[in-house]
C-alpha cells in the first residue's frame, strides 16, 4: 500500500509538472497577434497635412483596416526638415514597420535610402521615373510604388489659366525650391511653356524660409503674376507666400488646392486628397501579400481648378464667367 501511494504521488507530480509546462504555452497562444504597423512620414506639420491623412485613414477603414483594432499607424512630421526626414525613416526601420507611406520625392528618397526591404508607398511624386524612384510605371521593381501627381506635365495649363485672368500678362514669375529635383524639372517646363505662350519667365529660386521675402521684393518689380511650384517648403509656408503676394499685388497660381484655401488666387492640379485615399489601396494590397515592385504606379484621375474670389476682389481682378463656370470650387 505504501508503494502504491508513492506511485500515485509520483504520477500526480508528473501530471502537475506537465500541466504547468503547458499553461504558459496556452497563455501565450491567447495573446493577441502583433498588429501590422504603418509608418506615415509626412512633410510640414499635422495642421497642413491633416486633410490628406484623414482621407488616407478613412479609406483604410473602408478596406477593413481600423486604427487601434486591426492596424497601428505611427505618425511623424518633418516640419519641413530634410534632416528630420532622414531621422524618421531610420526610426521606422528600427521599429520594423510593415510599410512606409509618404509623399513628395525628397521624403520618398529618404525612406528609400533607409531601407531596400520595407515596402514604401508614395501618395504622390512628381516624376517617379526621372527621379529614379521606380524602374517603370508598369513594373516599378524594388520596394517602392505609388501614385504620380503629374505636376510638371500640367504647367502649360496653369500658365494658360493665369493668362485668362490677366489678359495682358507678359511676364510671369516662377518661385520654387530648386534643391528639390522635381521642382527644377517643373521650372524648366514652365520656362518652355511660357516661351510657347509668348511670355517672359523670371525664375526665383528659394531653398529656405528666409529666401521667400527677398524673392517677392524682386518679383513685384519684374512680374505680373506668380507661378508657385509645390513642395514641402512652399506648402509649409503657403500663408507667408500669399500674404507677400497680396502685398505685392501679384496674382498667384498653385498646383494644390490648399494654397488657395490659404489665400492664393488659383490652383490647378491633381486632387491630393484623392491621391492619399488611393494610396490606402496600395497599402491594403501590400499587407495582403502583394509585392510593391509588382504594383503599377498610377496617374491622377481627378484634377481640380479652385478659385478664391476673396483674393480676386482684394486684387481688383474681374474673373471671367467662363472660367468660374469651369471651376471645381469657388471660395467666396
CATH of the domain at 320: 3.40.50.2300
pLDDT of residue 131: 84
Q: Where are the alpha helices (DSSP H) in 120-204?
A: 155-165, 181-196
pLDDT at residue number 152: 66
| Residue 183 and residue 91 share a domain | no
Interhelix angle 105-114/82-95, rounded to 10 degrees, is 40
pLDDT value at 1 more than 70: no
pLDDT for 8 equals 44
Q: Is residue 26 part of a domain?
A: no
What percent of the chain shows pLDDT beyond 90? 73
The residue among 55, 113, 121, 61 whose CA lies nearest residue 87 is 113
Spell out the alpha helix ranges (H) of 166-256: 181-196, 212-222, 232-236, 238-247
Residues 239 and 221 in one domain: yes
Same domain, 74 and 210: no
Does residue 320 share a domain with residue 190?
Answer: yes
> Does 22 map to a domain?
no
Question: What pLDDT sits at residue 188?
Answer: 92
Same structural domain for residues 94 and 232?
Answer: no
Q: Which of 42, 140, 31 is nearest to 92 (CA)?
A: 42
| Residue 295, domain member (yes or no) | yes
Note down the domain range covering 118: 37-149+272-300
Residues 162 and 224 in one domain: yes
Say what the pTM is.
0.82
Q: With bands split at pLDDT 50, 70 and 90, how would you rate the model's confidence at 235?
A: confident
Closest CA to 189 of 216, 151, 144, 222: 151
Q: How far apart are CA 264 and CA 257, in angstroms?
A: 9
The total domain count for the chain is 2
Grid coordinates of 66 = 481600423
Q: Quick check: is 256 in a domain?
A: yes
Provide CB contacts within 8 A for 299, sequence distance 6+: 137, 147, 148, 150
**17 belongs to a structural domain:** no
**Same domain, yes or no, for 220 and 113?**
no
In a domain, 2, yes or no: no
Residue 27 within a domain: no
**Does residue 109 lie in a domain region?**
yes
Rounded CA Rg of the chain? 27
Length of the chain: 332
Cell numbers given for 278: 488611393
Cβ count near 327 (within 10 Å)? 17
Reading the block at residue 316, the C-alpha cell is 481688383
Identify the H or E element spanning 289: none
Same domain, 42 and 184: no
Amino acid at each position: 500500500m505504501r508503494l502504491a501511494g508513492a506511485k500515485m504521488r509520483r504520477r500526480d507530480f508528473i501530471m502537475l509538472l506537465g500541466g504547468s509546462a503547458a499553461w504558459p504555452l496556452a497563455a501565450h497562444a491567447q495573446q493577441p497577434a502583433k498588429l501590422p504597423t504603418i509608418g506615415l512620414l509626412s512633410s510640414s506639420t499635422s495642421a497642413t497635412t491633416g486633410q490628406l491623412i484623414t482621407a488616407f485613414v478613412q479609406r483604410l477603414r473602408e478596406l477593413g483596416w481600423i486604427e487601434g483594432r486591426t492596424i497601428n499607424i505611427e505618425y511623424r512630421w518633418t516640419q519641413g526638415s530634410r534632416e528630420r526626414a532622414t531621422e524618421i525613416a531610420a526610426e521606422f526601420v528600427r521599429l520594423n514597420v510593415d510599410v512606409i507611406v509618404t509623399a513628395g520625392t525628397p521624403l520618398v528618397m529618404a525612406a528609400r535610402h533607409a531601407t531596400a526591404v520595407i515596402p514604401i508607398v508614395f501618395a504622390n511624386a512628381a516624376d517617379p521615373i526621372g527621379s529614379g524612384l521606380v524602374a517603370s510605371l508598369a513594373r516599378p521593381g524594388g520596394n517602392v510604388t505609388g501614385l504620380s501627381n503629374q505636376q510638371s506635365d500640367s504647367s502649360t495649363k496653369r500658365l494658360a489659366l493665369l493668362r485668362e485672368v490677366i489678359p495682358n500678362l507678359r511676364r510671369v514669375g516662377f518661385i520654387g525650391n530648386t534643391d528639390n529635383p522635381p521642382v527644377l524639372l517643373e521650372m524648366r517646363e514652365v520656362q518652355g511653356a511660357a516661351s510657347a505662350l509668348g511670355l517672359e519667365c523670371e525664375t526665383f529660386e528659394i531653398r529656405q524660409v528666409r529666401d521667400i521675402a527677398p524673392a517677392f521684393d524682386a518679383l513685384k518689380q519684374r512680374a505680373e503674376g506668380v507661378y508657385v511650384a509645390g513642395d514641402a517648403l512652399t506648402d509649409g509656408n503657403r500663408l507667408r507666400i500669399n500674404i507677400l503676394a497680396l502685398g505685392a499685388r501679384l496674382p498667384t497660381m498653385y498646383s494644390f488646392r490648399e494654397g488657395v484655401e490659404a489665400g492664393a488666387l488659383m490652383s490647378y492640379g491633381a486632387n491630393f486628397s484623392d491621391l492619399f485615399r488611393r494610396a490606402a489601396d496600395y497599402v491594403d494590397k501590400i499587407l495582403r501579400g502583394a509585392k510593391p515592385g509588382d504594383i503599377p504606379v498610377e496617374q491622377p484621375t481627378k484634377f481640380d481648378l479652385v478659385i478664391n474670389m476673396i483674393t480676386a476682389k482684394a486684387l481688383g481682378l474681374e474673373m471671367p464667367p467662363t472660367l468660374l463656370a469651369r471651376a471645381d470650387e469657388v471660395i467666396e
